[in-house]
Amino acid sequence: MIKNIEKMLECKENSKQQEDLELIAKSNIDFEKYNRKTVFITGATGLVGSGLVKTFLCVNRLRGLEINIIAAVRNEKKAEMLYGDLLKRKELELYIGDIVEPIETEKNINYIFHTASITASKQMVEHPVMTIETSYQGTHNILELAREKAVEGVVYVSSMEVYGRPEKATYIKEKDLGYVDLTNVRSCYPEGKRICECLCNAYASEYKIPVKIARLAQTFGAGILESDNRVYVQFAKSAIEKKDIVLHTEGTSEGNYCYTRDTIKALLLLGYTGESGEAYNIVNENTHMQIRKMAAMVAEKIANKEINVVFDIPESALKYGYAPSVKMKLDGEKMRALGWKPEVDLPEMYERMIADIVMGES
């Protein structure tokens, strides 16, 4: 555990994200599948998308491969800030545009990783129409691009929120879809993901597009973006700043998590294996925990009991965009059957994320 966060301010070693990238590059992922191929990655300024871009660049450097990467972004300046000198690499180019518009490129494309999505809960509540349109139209355009280019593999990044409220409390497999309240405006996100999964399956069936669906548990770790304000980032920053963790709900919702490095390895594996049209849970089952218990873990073990957990629950949680409380344990057996195994548990996820945040601020 982190015993003294202040000491990390003096740490000048390589970032934990760079360490993760090199571990992925040296792993048993069959990167030869991607060698001398072109990979198109949407949402390339997001956590997962940028992680994929940087992984392929690291693989090229360490393994001497020739993987070409097209990073699709909406905001060129944001991409320049995120990637810096990496944009000078000849194998990386930016595609500037909104995925809700048809994607036009003369380049041959072999693999697509579609990670672009609206992820901020408050934005989902304030702009539900845009949330749905971005999900559906963006995915439709990506699948049309895959069809046009006759790609070898597509990975659509979905979410565990497609499960809604499952009827059972045991481990949830990919077929165990539950109830989604369509009168709740925030349902625009899970329902948008559901129709996109349905669309992926339709393209796999009718046009034989080799698309696999990755249902991600909440993913975090080294490499989180400065703008990220989701609950696990708030907990980490509270530990760093020695401020109490403030919960705006009862915290009884059960979280399922996965470390960034483990998630990226799963997506890379799905790029060239798995069944077309099928969904795969990507989760570290050992991380299953109530939000309030995770907060307590951070306060006690990560912040060394120097902070507390306090509750400040507003009359209306809707305006904050909080998801409904859910009791759900994701089952990762189907993904593990492909040869994937998560390596980083929750305490280490926080340690590595905090180390990366602190180093970035020092």
Global confidence as pTM: 0.93
CA distances in angstroms from 226 to 96, 233, 234, 278, listed in the order given? 21, 10, 11, 33
Dump pLDDT digits (tens) for 112-149: 999 999 988 889 999 999 999 999 999 999 999 999 99
More confident residue, 127 or 9: 127
Q: Which of 234, 248, 260, 244 is nearest to 306 (CA)?
A: 244
CB atoms within 10 A of CB 104: 9
Residue 1 pLDDT greater than 70, yes or no? no
Q: Is 312 exposed, middle or buried (0-12, 13-18, 19+ CB in 10 A)?
A: exposed
Dump pLDDT digits (tens) for 332-361: 999 999 999 999 999 999 999 999 988 766
Dump pLDDT digits (tens) for 241-296: 999 999 988 888 888 999 999 999 999 999 999 999 999 999 999 999 999 999 99
Q: How confident is the model at residue 320 (pLDDT cuts 50, 70, 90)?
A: low
Q: How confident is the model at residue 14 (pLDDT cuts 50, 70, 90)?
A: low
Q: How confident is the model at residue 317 (pLDDT cuts 50, 70, 90)?
A: low
Helices 260-272 and 16-25 pack at an angle, to 10 degrees, of 30
More confident residue, 313 or 343: 343
Q: How confident is the model at residue 315 (pLDDT cuts 50, 70, 90)?
A: low
Residue 99 pLDDT greater than 70, yes or no? yes
> Do the Cβ atoms of 212 and 280 come closer than 8 Å?
yes
How would DSSP label each residue in 240-273?
HHT--EEESS---SEEEEEEHHHHHHHHHHHHHS
Q: How confident is the model at residue 323 (pLDDT cuts 50, 70, 90)?
A: low
Report the percent of the chain where pLDDT is more than 70.
92
pLDDT of 251 reads: 87
> Which domains are delineated in the chain?
5-221+258-286+326-344 (3.40.50.720)
Question: What is the residue-averaged pLDDT of the chain?
Answer: 92
Taking the C-alpha atoms of residue 157 and residue 168, their distance in angstroms, rounded to an integer, is 24
Residue 258 region by backbone torsions, left for phi larger than 0, else alpha for psi between -120 and 50, else beta: beta
How would DSSP label each residue in 278-312?
-EEEE-EEEEEEEHHHHHHHIIIIISTTSS-EEE-
> Do the Cβ atoms of 350 and 9 come closer than 8 Å?
no
pLDDT of 9 reads: 42
For 54, the 3-state DSSP assignment is helix
Which residues make beta-bridge pairs with 211? Answer: 154
Q: What number is the average pLDDT over the span 222-250? A: 90
Q: Which of 94, 31, 26, 111 is nearest to 65 (CA)?
A: 31
Taking the C-alpha atoms of residue 226 and residue 236, their distance in angstroms, rounded to an integer, is 12
Dump pLDDT digits (tens) for 36-83: 999 999 999 999 999 999 999 999 999 999 999 999 999 999 999 999
Residue 5 pLDDT greater than 70, yes or no? no
Q: How confident is the model at residue 324 (pLDDT cuts 50, 70, 90)?
A: low
Q: Which of 258, 216, 231 is nearest to 349 (CA)?
A: 258
